[in-house]
A and B are shown apart, each in its own frame.
Chain A
Amino acid sequence: MATRKPTDTQQVDSLPGEAEMARVYRATAQDAPPASLDARILTEAQRAVATSKARGPFGGHWAIPLSTAAVVILSLGVVLLMTKQGALNHRAEREVPNEYTAAPASPDSVSAERAVTAPAVSPPLADTARSDERMVPAKAKRTAPEPDSRLVGLVESKPAASAPAEVMKKVDAPPVAATLAVAPKLSERTAEERVTTTRDAVRTKNNLAKEVGGMNMQADVIAVQTSGQPGAYQFNVGIRSPDKGCAQYADWWEVVSTDGKLLYRRVLLHSHVDEQPFTRTGGPVPIQADTLVLVRAHMNTGGYGGVAFKGSVKTGFKQDVLGAEFAAGLAKQAPLPDGCDF
Chain B
Amino acid sequence: MDNAAPDEELMNRYRDGDARAFEVLYTRHKGPLYRYLLRQCGAAAQAEELFQDVWMKLIRARERYEARAKFTTYLYHLAHNRLIDHYRRARAGVPISYDDDSDDPLIEQVADSELREPDNELDRRRLGQRLLAHIAALPEAQREAFLLREESGLSLEQIADVTGVNAETAKSRLRYALTKLRQGLKD
Q: Is A3 an interface residue (CB 8 A)?
A: yes
A9's contact among B22, B128, B135, B153, by CB below 8 Å, is which? Answer: B153
Q: How far is the CA of A21 from the CA of B181 in the complex (A)?
A: 8
Asked if A21 and B59 make an inter-chain contact with CB atoms under 8 angstroms apart, the answer reads no
Q: Which of B85-127 contact A (CB under 8 A)?
A: 85-86, 89-92, 111-112, 114-115, 117, 124-125, 127
A339 in contact with B90 given A2-B30, A15-B178 (CB within 8 Å): yes
Q: Is A11 an interface residue (CB 8 A)?
A: yes
- Which residues in B have their C-beta under 8 angstroms from that of A44? 55-56, 59
Asked if B89 and A31 make an inter-chain contact with CB atoms under 8 angstroms apart, the answer reads no
- Which residues in A have their C-beta under 8 angstroms from that of B182? 17, 21
Q: Is B77 an interface residue (CB 8 A)?
A: no
Q: Is B50 an interface residue (CB 8 A)?
A: yes
Q: Which residue of B lies closest to A2 (CB)?
A: B31
Q: Which residue of A lies closest to B174 (CB)?
A: A15
Q: Which of B55, B114, B154 has the most CB of A within 10 A?
A: B55
Interface band, chain B: 35 or more
Q: Is B166 an interface residue (CB 8 A)?
A: no
Interface of B, secondary structure class, is helix
Q: Which of A281-312 contact B (CB under 8 A)?
A: 281-282
Distance to closest chain B CB from A298 (angstroms) = 15
Task: Fill in one digit per residue for B45-76: 1 if any A CB lies within 8 Å of its CB, else 0.
Answer: 11011111101100110111000000000000
B128's contact among A28, A34, A37, A281, by CB below 8 Å, is which? Answer: A28
Q: Is A33 an interface residue (CB 8 A)?
A: yes
Asked if A9 and B89 make an inter-chain contact with CB atoms under 8 angstroms apart, the answer reads no
Q: How far is the CA of A340 from the CA of B85 in the complex (A)?
A: 10
Q: Is B5 an interface residue (CB 8 A)?
A: no
Asked if A266 and B45 make an inter-chain contact with CB atoms under 8 angstroms apart, the answer reads yes
Q: How far is the CA of A303 from the CA of B102 in the complex (A)?
A: 46
- Which residues in B have their C-beta under 8 angstroms from that of A40? 52
Asked if B115 and A20 make an inter-chain contact with CB atoms under 8 angstroms apart, the answer reads yes
Q: Which of A5, A25, A26 has the most CB of B within 10 A?
A: A25
B90's contact among A9, A27, A49, A338, by CB below 8 Å, is which? Answer: A338
Asked if A42 and B22 make an inter-chain contact with CB atoms under 8 angstroms apart, the answer reads yes
- Which residues in A have their C-beta under 8 angstroms from that of B115? 17, 20-21, 24
Q: How far is the CA of A328 from the CA of B36 in the complex (A)?
A: 36
Q: Is A107 an interface residue (CB 8 A)?
A: no
A2's contact among B29, B117, B125, by CB below 8 Å, is which? Answer: B29
Q: How far is the CA of A280 from the CA of B85 in the complex (A)?
A: 20
- Which residues in B have their C-beta under 8 angstroms from that of A50? 19
Distance to closest chain B CB from A323 (angstroms) = 27
Q: Is A167 an interface residue (CB 8 A)?
A: no
Asked if B132 and A37 make an inter-chain contact with CB atoms under 8 angstroms apart, the answer reads no
Q: Is A13 an interface residue (CB 8 A)?
A: yes
Asked if B50 and A8 make an inter-chain contact with CB atoms under 8 angstroms apart, the answer reads no
Residues of A whose CB lies within 8 Å of any CB of B are 1-5, 8-9, 11, 13, 15-18, 20-22, 24-34, 37-38, 40-42, 44-46, 48-50, 52-53, 60-61, 266-270, 275, 280-282, 338-342
6 residue pairs, one from A and one from B, having the closest CB atoms? A2-B31, A28-B128, A8-B153, A5-B153, A341-B89, A45-B22
Q: List 7 extra interface pairs beyond A21-B182, A29-B39, A37-B51, CB under 8 A.
A: A2-B32, A2-B34, A17-B182, A18-B178, A24-B128, A28-B127, A269-B86
25 chain-A/chain-B pairs, Cβ below 8 angstroms: A1-B31, A2-B31, A4-B153, A17-B182, A21-B115, A21-B150, A24-B124, A25-B131, A26-B150, A28-B129, A29-B132, A31-B31, A31-B38, A32-B30, A32-B31, A44-B59, A48-B62, A49-B14, A49-B18, A49-B22, A269-B86, A280-B49, A338-B90, A338-B91, A342-B85
